[in-house]
Amino acid sequence: MANDESCKKYGVPVYGAAWVPPGAIRSAPKPPPEGDGDDKDAADKSPLIATHNYVVMAGGGGEGNSGIPNAILLARFDFDSSFLSDLPVARLGTGSDLPYRMTVHPGGEGLICSLPKSCSWFEWDAGSDTDDGALSVKLSERLLKQLEDVGQQLALTFNNEGSLLAVGGEDGKLRVFKWPSMEIIIDEANAHSCVKDLDFSPDGKFLVSAGSGPCRVWNVSTSASVASLQKENDEILGFCRFSRSSDNNQALYVTAMQGKGGSIVKWSTASWNRMSSKWVSRDPISAFNVSADGKLLAIGTIQGDVLILSSNLQVLTTVKKAHLGLVTTLKFSDDSRALLSTSLDSSVRVTVIKDKSDKKGFNLWIILLIILMAIAVYYAKREGKLSLPLDFPIKF
Q: What is the pLDDT of residue 372?
A: 76
Q: Comparing 392 with 263, which gets the higher pLDDT?
A: 263
Q: Comparing 32 with 219, which gets the higher pLDDT?
A: 219
Enter the pTM of the model. 0.84
Q: What is the pLDDT of residue 95?
A: 95
Domain-located, residue 264: no
Last residue of a domain, one of 91, 115, 146: 146
Domain-located, residue 67: yes
Going by pLDDT thresholds of 50, 70 and 90, the confidence category of residue 361 is very low
Domain-located, residue 208: no
**What percentage of residues in the chain have a pLDDT greater than 70?**
80
Query: What average pLDDT does this structure show over 123-131?
Result: 70
Structural contact between residues 240 and 208, judged by C-beta atoms closer than 8 angstroms: yes
**CA nearest to 275, candidates 310, 316, 313:** 313
Domain-located, residue 315: no
Q: What is the pLDDT of residue 260?
A: 83
Domain-located, residue 112: yes
Q: What is the pLDDT of residue 49?
A: 42
**CA nearest to 231, candidates 201, 210, 206, 200:** 210
Q: HSE on the CB side for 181, CA within 13 Å?
A: 5
Going by pLDDT thresholds of 50, 70 and 90, the confidence category of residue 280 is very high
Give the total number of structural domains in the chain: 2
Domain-located, residue 334: no
Last residue of a domain, one of 146, 178, 205: 146
Q: What is the pLDDT of residue 246?
A: 60
Domain-located, residue 176: no
Whether the pLDDT of residue 16 is over 70: the answer is yes
Going by pLDDT thresholds of 50, 70 and 90, the confidence category of residue 134 is confident
Domain span including residue 60 = 1-146
Last residue of a domain, one of 146, 163, 187: 146
Domain-located, residue 369: yes
Opening angle at CA 295, ends 280 and 332, nearest 5: 85
Q: Alpha-carbon torsion 281, 286, 292, 294, what sign? A: positive
Whether the pLDDT of residue 351 is over 50: the answer is yes
Residues 6+ apart with CB under 8 A from 114: 16, 99, 100, 101, 102, 152, 153, 154, 156, 167
